Chain A
Amino acid sequence: MNLSVEELQKKFSSVIKEVKRTDYLTLICEREGFVEFMEYLKDNKGFKYLIDLCGVDYLNYPYKDWDERFEVVYHLYNFEAKELIRVKVRVPEDDCWHYSVTPLWKTANWFERECYDMFGIEFKGHPDLRRMLMPYDWKGYPLRKDYPLELDEESEWEVYKELKKRTKGK
């Protein structure tokens, strides 16, 4: 393994909160100083490829031992050392934002937009944060655990309601 966790922990002692070794090395980080940490990983440690960025909602998760509701999960890959790591940041519900890594990886642009679309996590520093998969006037964030699988009739999408009304009249 090329990456020395101790060295990282020493250098970014205020950023790295917890280190776990499950299927892959998992670093749980603080929000502050996160972008600098990622920049260091990318430029100095060779983690040039951002495989994936996604959000997870841990509302009422039975095995949770932390307070924050959301998690943003990054999977990074190093081509030379063939090494994969997972970086996580926990985001509380009432303070729902995180720093954007789009300046580092262009591929993060759409991932972050999707994360915003599905979970409502705002990414500060993102050039163009708007809805992506859902219509632009959609209300609510579908992948949150408290969002129902099927909407009741009143809370349906406005456009759809109008369409139904128009077709009923004919």
Chain B
Amino acid sequence: MGLAIEINKKQIDEDSWSEHFFINMGPQHPSTHGVLRIFLELDGETIINCDPIIGYLHRGVEKLAENLNYNQGIVLSDRLDYISSAANNVAFALAVERLMGLKVPRRARLLRTIVSEMARICNHLLWLATHALDIGAMTVFLYCFRDREWLLNIFERICGARLTHSYVRVGGVRLDFTSEIVDELYKFTEEFPSRILDYETLIDVNRIWLKRTKGIAVVPLEEAINLGLTGPCLRGSGIAYDVRKYRPYDAYDEVEFVVPTGKTGDTYDRYRVRMEELRQSNSIIRQCLDKLPETEGEPVIAEGAPELCMPEKMKEPVPKPHPKLGAIFKGEPKKWVPVGESFASIESPKGELSVYLVSDGSSKPWRWRIRTPSFVHVSAIPHMSKGHMIADLVAIIGTLDIVLGDSDR
């Protein structure tokens, strides 16, 4: 309080105020989408410097995972990016599968692809809703949430949960789709393209929207790569880098889709990329649904997939169980997974999500490293916001599409 009075006095005494001042934005600011604190150095309303401070949502997921078994790790991965948790599950499951050399059945791969794309649509809808709300377009919020609700209801039918699914298992998925789910998804894919048009008519010709997004936070291509931006943020700058195309996983090599790119790399381009991705995701879901009847009756989990219960001190019976005497549990501890390391990355809705796994053969990972897109995107805020106004910072946070649970882990 004393400082404020002093500054106030100074301002009254002096004709011009030339000193920079410092201000905290967050951690409880509605437009920071979580608990992000940004320490700003301002000249008037122009940002000279800023320092994002994260860690308010740090739960130590990597440490926890080292003390839990592989299947429990999937439940933890749900809590990272809670808006598109299906995608996180897939990343972790892929890393373990590559380590174990599991061959996932085609039906399970198709189901996973459908679920990932549903998560992408959910995420982009929530992004559009909150981004538009931050910038000042209120109506879009309600439209988007209406359609997201529809998808969440389908998710609820698939696995019983709306946000934290844990639907994907190491080696496949938990449950098969019923025919009602398939019908509902067909209905959704029929209807959804017209809904995208609705959103676009709401904001594409909105003058406030255009003024606040065009030319804001321009990131040239070289800079974007150097900053490590991925996903729509990178593609908005003009390179068609998409993990689904470059290192295909699941069933993405079977489906056809276009990777949309922008030109200038400003906020508006990133918005266009995401809107186009909604259409592509919709068509991917449609293609996968068309392929599902071919795989009718296949199992949804791979042979040799780890059991849910993975005791730490299980021993292989040596010698092999005698038919009359029963098993004699002696010898080396059972190796659940091969010793070694694996790396898997997926195109999560926010960007590239990669998992680096080191195992020592036991039921628990030795090291589970997650590279989350939000973490990298938050680190890009200082470079993108330099010279912009405070109000634009809200647009920048929105366009990067960050979730603090994802960045703090």
| A residues whose Cβ falls under 8 Å from a Cβ of B | 22-24, 48-52, 54, 56-57, 61-63, 73, 75, 79, 82, 84, 86, 105-107, 109-110, 114, 118, 132-135, 142-143, 147, 149
Question: Residue of B at shortest CB range from A138?
Answer: B55
Tell me if A133 and B379 are in contact (CB < 8 A): no
- Chain B residue at minimal CB-CB distance from A117: B55
Cβ-defined contact, A110 with B226, below 8 A = no
Given contacts A63-B339, A106-B227, A142-B63, contact A51 B352 (CB under 8 A): yes
Judge if B244 is at the interface, Cβ distance under 8 Å.
no
- Whether a CB of chain A sits under 8 angstroms from the CB of B279 is no
Instruction: Kindly list chain A residues whose C-beta atoms are within 8 Å of the C-beta of B380.
Output: 106-107
Contacts of B58 in A (CB 8 A): 133-134
Whether A132 pairs with B227 at a CB distance below 8 angstroms is no
By the criterion CB–CB under 8 Å, are B227 and A143 in contact?
no
Nearest residue in B to A135 (C-beta to C-beta)?
B55
Q: Are A107 and B343 in contact (CB under 8 A)?
A: no
- The answer to whether A51 and B366 touch across the interface, beta carbons within 8 angstroms, is no
Given known contacts A23-B342, A107-B376, A133-B55, is B354 in contact with A52 (CB within 8 Å)? yes
Q: A107-B379, A133-B55 are in contact. Are A22 and B228 (CB under 8 A)?
A: no
**Are A133 and B367 in contact (CB-based, < 8 A)?**
no
**Are the CB atoms of A107 and B54 closer together than 8 Å?**
no
Is B108 part of the binding interface, using a Cβ–Cβ cutoff of 8 Å? Answer: no
Q: Are B354 and A51 in contact (CB under 8 A)?
A: yes
| Interfacial residues of chain B within 316-347, with CB under 8 A of chain A in the complex | 339-343, 345
Tell me the chain B residues, 93-113 only, with Cβ under 8 Å from chain A. 98
Tell which of A49, A75, A109 has the most Cβ of chain B within 10 Å.
A49
Contact A82 B246 (CB under 8 A): yes
Q: How far is the CB of B363 from chain A (nearest CB, A)?
A: 14
- Give the distance in Å from the alpha carbon of A23 to the alpha carbon of B371 in the complex: 18
- Chain A contacts for B366, CB-based, 8 A: 56, 61
160-210 of chain B: CB within 8 A of chain A: none
Q: Which residues of B contact A63 (CB under 8 A)?
A: 339, 360-361
Contacts of B383 in A (CB 8 A): 106
Majority DSSP secondary structure for residues of A touching B:
loop
Point out the residues of chain A lying under 8 angstroms from B257, CB to CB. Answer: none
Known contacts A49-B225, A50-B228, A107-B379; A149 and B408 CB within 8 A of each other:
no
Question: How long is the Cα–Cα vector from A90 to B60 in the complex, in angstroms?
Answer: 24
Known A51-B228, A106-B226, A133-B55; further 10 A-B contacts with Cβ < 8 A: A51-B345, A56-B358, A84-B343, A106-B380, A107-B380, A110-B378, A110-B379, A132-B55, A133-B54, A149-B67
B356 & A84 in contact (Cβ 8 Å cutoff): no
Q: What residues on B are CB-neighbors of A107 within 8 Å?
A: 226-228, 376, 379-380
B339 touches A52 (CB 8 A): no
For B60, the chain A residues whose CB sits under 8 A away are 142
Contact A48 B356 (CB under 8 A): no
Q: Which 6 pairs, one residue from A and one from B, show the smallest C-beta to C-beta distance?
A: A107-B228, A110-B379, A52-B371, A133-B55, A54-B369, A133-B58
- Chain B nearest CB from A25 CB (Å) reads 12
Q: With a CB–CB cut-off of 8 A, which chain A residues contact B239?
A: 79
> How far, in Å, is B378 (CB) from chain A's closest CB?
8
Interface residues of B in 224-238 (CB under 8 A from A): 225-228
